[in-house]
Chains A and B, each alone.
Chain A
Amino acid sequence: MTNIMSKLKEFKQSKQPTIKELKFIVHRIKKSPLSIMGLAIILFFTFIAVLAPVLAPPVPPPMGKLDPFMVWKDLNIPPRERNLPSPPNPTHPFGTTEQSYDMYYGCIWGTITAFRIGLMVVILALIIGLLTGCVAGYYGGIIDEILMRLTDIVIAFPGLVLCMALVTALPPQLTINLGFTQFAITLNKLDKVLLALVLVGWPSYTRVIRGEILRVKEEDYVEAAKAVGCSDLRVIVKHILPNTIYPIVIMASLDTGAIVLTAAALSFLGIGAPLGYADWGQLIALSRNYIISNIANPAGNWWVWIIPGMFIFTFVLGWNLLGDAFRDILDPTLRRR
């Protein structure tokens, strides 16, 4: 028994620095209530996304579809009223929207879609941005020139318009010819949105990363690292990137929210997710005709736009607040001041 106790003590002692670090992180987060809120919001949405099958179990056909991401239609509503939204009631906690799609189901499963779009796009854009930005910033010269002109071309177009153009222009099947082999990728509508957002989003990362690298490259400690005998790759990965990554992490967090917003805009315009797909933008698109129900009672159909609108609003807000929290937690140069 004492043996175990002493071992436990030893373990505690050896983990002292880690514990101290964790305590410090908690301390920092506690200091800014806004980051707690951001964290709480994102955790809440993560919780919804993970528990979606429990919170809103898929409805078997004929009302639902085999794909759980397709929102089920209530066929019990008499055909004449099916086109109109119906207010919240026990079977439909959030009411139904146009064509009697269940709003609750759409909102819950839409959370997964939002995470998927936001995170996937940001991660892919970040990877492309990191690679191109590092090469352009560190090596400079002709590669830098080519990459920067490429980003200029993309940035020259308004983001949303370019996204729309790309989504409509992308073929349903993308054939990639590598010379020795050739393979095809089938793109469904959502993949197209993803791809378009990545293609529009990467240049801003490249720019920021390149600028940061240009700044840090001149620092003495980079020179010192070279004097110690580090290779280029090591200098970039171990000495330059850790000093440049914080603005990018914050930007990525803010972007995760913004991308969801853009995706919703695309869905609203009818070129995003396919009809009936669980997606917040889609739900708002379906409520387009009922935002003002009639002159006598303007907010008569409030649930059709307020509920999915609130989901999008809180989600984006959460990521924005989290961006600041990330900075507080991660950046050691801001620490212990």
Chain B
Amino acid sequence: MGKLIEVQDLVLRFYTYDGVVKALEGVNLFVKEGETLGVVGETGCGKTMTGLSILDITPAPGKIEGGKVFFKTRHGKTIDLLAQEDRILRMIRGKHISMIFQEPGSALNPVYTVENQIAEVLLHHRRKELLERTLAQIEKDGMEKKIYKKMLENPNSRTLKVFLKIPIIGRCKRLKKEVRKEVLNILKEMEIGDPERVAKMYPHELSGGMQQRVVIAMALACDPRLLIADEPTTSLDVTVQAQILDLIRRLKKRLGSSVIYITHDMGVIAEISDRVAVMYAGNVCEVAEVKELFKRPIHPYTIALLESIPKPGEGFKSIVGMVPNLINPPTGCRFHPRCPFAKTICKEKMPKIKEVKKEHFVACHLY
């Protein structure tokens, strides 16, 4: 299996008044085709930022200062996403790589109905395909057919876009019908019981689980090859969480896409992922297959993290200390102030990530 996406030495910094926040400091990751990579870590360790960096949409004071994100396109070419023009990136976002956000309630625009929001994605990335389908339906030769043919020739032309804005003439009834059919299809795939009714609703009229389904529907509308799921189930209750996880897993299997699943819930990670990357304070500290990681964790942080999972009958265990301030991160290994096995070298040199066993990578001086 080839690598679908590979992140190399990604450096992300935020220039704030208090100083430079070194949010990501040399992140190395890769995702193979068709696999699910779980990314775990405490709050503020850069999981979400890694996801946003892959799409190159990091929020305002953030700057990607180094590193490469290699992505294998459908034609088998490998491109560096961070070096691409904005125009090309816009084609990739949503179509080849899409993202599910943490809060389904706020990831949906409150002023549009569900149908409109999904239709936007469809019209943005799959206009050509939808036009072809519509054209196939028209039997009569005439004005209508001519217009659709024109549209198909150059789906993104400015004049046409303006033309479509004219009321009555530019209605494109058939295209709209086709889009609507597709939207309902997608909603049905998301196991929404009554797609016709849900399609007409505004986001705030839906429950949290439903909203998340709609967000997933938007993300999967164009059959992306990589899905970045940023804590999609954190704000949902456990029963809905299980449904959503099931849904993501099944859709993934059907579309054959890869998933980067970001969460801080070890249970969810064990459930859904093939491999796991553990992040701490802007670094990846351990990557391994899920069983291997849970059975034989190597990095002291991973060990501590696994021990802190609450078990019935036992008291809570936590990791001593706090996540460091990323403006002045500790020198050397960022985990050393909290690490029970810290040596002098840990304070001085940042460990490089290396393969200690087959498919088991770790960044620690102890190994």
Q: At the interface, yes or no: A127 with Cβ under 8 Å from chain B? A: no
| CB of A172, distance to nearest CB on chain B (Å) | 38
Q: Across the interface, do B57 and A220 meet the contact criterion of CB distance under 8 Å? A: no
Chain B residues in 8 Å Cβ range of A242: 109, 111-112
Nearest CB to that of B95 among chain A residues?
A229
Q: At the interface, yes or no: B79 with Cβ under 8 Å from chain A? A: no
Nearest CB to that of A238 among chain B residues?
B120
**Which listed residue, B107, B124, B200, B202, touches A220 by the CB 8 Å rule?**
B107
Known: A221-B107, A229-B91, A333-B111. 13 other contacts (CB 8 A): A220-B103, A220-B107, A223-B101, A224-B99, A226-B93, A227-B93, A227-B99, A228-B94, A229-B94, A230-B120, A242-B112, A243-B111, A332-B110
Q: Across the interface, do B101 and A224 meet the contact criterion of CB distance under 8 Å? A: yes
In the assembled complex, the Cα of A243 lies from the Cα of B111 at a distance in Å of 7
Nearest CB to that of B204 among chain A residues?
A333
In the assembled complex, the Cα of A239 lies from the Cα of B92 at a distance in Å of 20
Q: At the interface, yes or no: B55 with Cβ under 8 Å from chain A? A: yes
Q: Across the interface, do A229 and B103 meet the contact criterion of CB distance under 8 Å? A: no
Q: Across the interface, do A223 and B200 meet the contact criterion of CB distance under 8 Å? A: no
Q: A140-B60, A332-B111, A336-B205 are in contact. Are A228 and B106 (CB under 8 A)?
A: no
Q: A220-B101, A332-B110, A332-B111 are in contact. Are A228 and B200 (CB under 8 A)?
A: no
In the assembled complex, the Cα of A335 lies from the Cα of B95 at a distance in Å of 33
Q: At the interface, yes or no: B218 with Cβ under 8 Å from chain A? A: yes
| CB of A21, distance to nearest CB on chain B (Å) | 10
Chain A residues in 8 Å Cβ range of B202: 332-333, 335-336
Q: At the interface, yes or no: B296 with Cβ under 8 Å from chain A? A: no
Using a CB–CB cutoff of 8 Å, the interface residues on chain A facing chain B are: 17, 140, 218-221, 223-231, 238-239, 242-243, 332-333, 335-336
Chain A residues in 8 Å Cβ range of B108: 221, 224
Nearest CB to that of B105 among chain A residues?
A220
**Which listed residue, B106, B124, B200, touches A229 by the CB 8 Å rule?**
B124
Q: At the interface, yes or no: B19 with Cβ under 8 Å from chain A? A: no
**Which listed residue, A218, A228, A333, touches B120 by the CB 8 Å rule?**
A228
B side interface size, CB within 8 A: 35
Q: Across the interface, do A228 and B218 meet the contact criterion of CB distance under 8 Å? A: yes
Q: Across the interface, do A239 and B109 meet the contact criterion of CB distance under 8 Å? A: yes
| CB of B56, distance to nearest CB on chain A (Å) | 9
| CB of B205, distance to nearest CB on chain A (Å) | 7
Chain B residues in 8 Å Cβ range of A225: 109
Most-contacted residue by chain B among A224, A242, A332, A333 (CB, 10 A): A224
9 smallest beta-carbon distances between A and B, as pairs: A228-B94, A229-B93, A229-B94, A220-B106, A229-B90, A220-B107, A221-B109, A242-B111, A227-B99
In the assembled complex, the Cα of A219 lies from the Cα of B125 at a distance in Å of 23
Chain B residues in 8 Å Cβ range of A333: 110-111, 202, 204
In the assembled complex, the Cα of A226 lies from the Cα of B261 at a distance in Å of 20
Nearest CB to that of B113 among chain A residues?
A332
Q: At the interface, yes or no: B59 with Cβ under 8 Å from chain A? A: yes
Q: A220-B101, A220-B103, A223-B101 are in contact. Are A228 and B57 (CB under 8 A)?
A: no
Q: Across the interface, do B200 and A231 meet the contact criterion of CB distance under 8 Å? A: no
Chain A residues in 8 Å Cβ range of B57: 223, 226-227
Chain A residues in 8 Å Cβ range of B247: none
| CB of A248, distance to nearest CB on chain B (Å) | 14
In the assembled complex, the Cα of A231 lies from the Cα of B85 at a distance in Å of 12
Chain B residues in 8 Å Cβ range of A336: 202, 205
Chain A residues in 8 Å Cβ range of B120: 228, 230, 238
